[in-house]
């Protein structure tokens, strides 16, 4: 797979709820605009599966429009999870920020929104969590943007409102997220 996750993207599919959340976050944050943005973000049906390439096309609108896209992608991930929690099934699935982390065990959360051949889908897995110390470690081999995934973790853990602080870094290794929370 290429670094941007586009090789064999036709074999991957993304669930409409994720695509809709991604598109709405981009539109609500006013980071995509114009006719192409409207065509890529309109008529998304929540319970339907779409080619993964559609998500990558929306992402390319963002990455092609901004020089320093990392903080923007992080905010997109954050907003996606806020929408998932407050307007989607999140409140029925998790009650706390640590619950969100546990929901990632075995890629349970990720596997519900991206499907395809295992070698292309990758995984998003909780490796360890220590609530007493406020530390966790997540491993990702997904074709998703790592800045966006960092935002997903921050947003997913923050959405229930029980944590005062969530910090996520992956400076040590691209595929490992170190999480601190209190």
Confidence band of 157 (pLDDT split at 50, 70, 90): very high
Beta-carbon contacts of residue 124 (< 8 Å; ≥ 6 apart): 104, 107, 109, 110, 138, 139, 140, 141, 142, 149
**83 inside domain:** yes
| Cα(120)–Cα(128) distance, integer angstroms | 24
Measured in degrees and rounded to the nearest 5, phi and psi for residue 167 equal -130, 135
pLDDT of residue 4: 46
Rounded CA separation 27/111 (Å): 25
CB contact set of 161 (below 8 Å; sequence gap of 6+): none
Q: Is residue 91 part of a domain?
A: yes
pLDDT tens digits, one per residue of 80-104: 898 888 888 889 999 999 999 999 8
Instruction: Report pLDDT for 33.
Output: 64
The answer to whether position 31 is within a domain reads yes
CATH number, domain containing residue 35: 3.90.1520.10
Q: Positive or negative, the Cα torsion across 8, 36, 42, 144?
A: positive
Answer whether residue 3 is part of any domain. no
Q: What is the pLDDT of residue 46?
A: 83
| Inside any domain, residue 172 | yes
**How much is the pLDDT for 95?**
97
- Does 2 reside within a domain? no
- Tens of pLDDT, residue by residue over 123-148, are 988 999 999 999 999 999 999 999 99
Q: Which domain holds residue 38?
A: 9-181
Q: Please tell me the distance from the alpha carbon of residue 156 to that of residue 14, in angstroms, as a whole number.
A: 19
pLDDT at 28: 79
DSSP-assigned beta bridge partners for residue 135: 130, 180
Domain-embedded: residue 163:
yes
Number of domains comprising the chain:
1
Name 137's bridge partners. 128, 178
Residue 158: pLDDT band with limits 50, 70, 90: very high
The answer as to whether 1 is a domain residue is no
């Amino acid at each position: 797979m290429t670094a941007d996750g586009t090789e064999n993207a036709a074999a991957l599919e993304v669930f409409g709820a994720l695509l809709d959340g991604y598109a709405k976050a981009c539109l609500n944050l006013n980071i995509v605009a114009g006719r192409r943005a409207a065509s890529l973000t309109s008529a998304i049906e929540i319970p339907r599966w779409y080619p993964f390439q559609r998500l990558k096309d929306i992402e390319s609108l963002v990455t092609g429009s901004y020089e320093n896209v990392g903080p923007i992608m992080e905010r997109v991930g954050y907003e996606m999870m806020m929408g998932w929690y407050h307007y989607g099934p999140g409140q029925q699935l998790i009650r706390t920020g640590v619950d969100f982390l546990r929901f990632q065990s075995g890629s349970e959360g990720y596997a519900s929104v991206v499907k395809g051949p295992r070698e292309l889908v990758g995984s998003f897995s909780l490796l360890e969590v220590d609530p007493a110390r406020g530390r966790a470690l997540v491993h990702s081999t997904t074709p998703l943007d790592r800045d966006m995934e960092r935002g997903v973790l921050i947003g997913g853990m923050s959405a229930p409102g029980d944590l005062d602080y969530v910090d996520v870094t992956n400076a040590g290794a691209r595929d490992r997220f170190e999480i601190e929370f209190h």
